Amino acid sequence: MEEKAKRCSRCSGAMEPAQRERVSAGEPPLRLSVLGLPLLRCPKGHAEPVHPDFMLWLLRSLRERFGREIPGGEAKGLLFKKYHCACGAQLPDQSEREGRFGLDFAFEGAPAFRVEVESPLYRCPACGREQVRSAASLASGVPQAIMVLHDAAGFPHSG
């Protein structure tokens, strides 16, 4: 059975697979840049996600990988949180610099792409390891960053 061609939701033009070189969104402490964002584009230049579930898939995939692939401190304390390195030492209150982590992704049926995550880095005074203050708190900012990324890519809002 032949699959029906996707039509643009704004002008009804035929949508074709494409990629956007770079789309960036977010503000410190979390900034995302997607390199090679897979999308669908019509002849008039309107863009839509490559699949209706793509942005939700990206959100979930990023949050899942933050804890595994981005080194981060652990919050301790009930009222006043302090962040500690895996070695047990307390991280400084101020970051030394902005750091960037690259994560490669592939959505089924679309070209591979890369997400760069930019965030302040903290150097452990005991072991020297550079890390984000907390991967868990950084991951909590992903939904907002994805919403801004959606808009920055020029995707229409549904509903």
Q: How many domains does the chain divide into?
A: 1
- Per-residue confidence band for 67, with pLDDT thresholds at 50, 70 and 90: confident
* CA distance linking residue 159 with residue 150, whole number of Å: 15
In a domain, 130, yes or no: yes
* Residues 62, 115 contacting (CB under 8 angstroms): yes
CA nearest neighbour of 33 among 117, 151, 140: 117
Is 15 inside any structural domain? no
In a domain? residue 122: yes
Instruction: Quick: pLDDT tens for 21-50.
Output: 999 998 889 999 999 999 999 999 999 999
In a domain, 41, yes or no: no
In a domain, residue 12? The reply is no
pTM reported for the whole predicted model? 0.88
State residue 1's pLDDT score. 38
> Distance between CA 111 and CA 159 in Å, rounded?
28
Burial level of 99, CB count in 10 A (0-12/13-18/19+)? Answer: middle
141 secondary structure, DSSP code: T
Strand partners, 119: 99
d(CA 47, CA 51): 11
Q: Give the pLDDT confidence of 76-119 residue by residue, as tens digits.
A: 998 999 999 999 999 999 998 999 999 999 999 999 999 999 99
Mean pLDDT of 13-28: 94
Containing structural domain, residue 132:
21-33+52-152
Residue 80 lies in a domain: yes
* Amino acid (1-letter code) at residue 13: G
Query: Is pLDDT at 152 greater than 60 in this prediction?
Result: yes
112's tokens? 């591979």
pLDDT at residue 107, rounded to an integer: 97
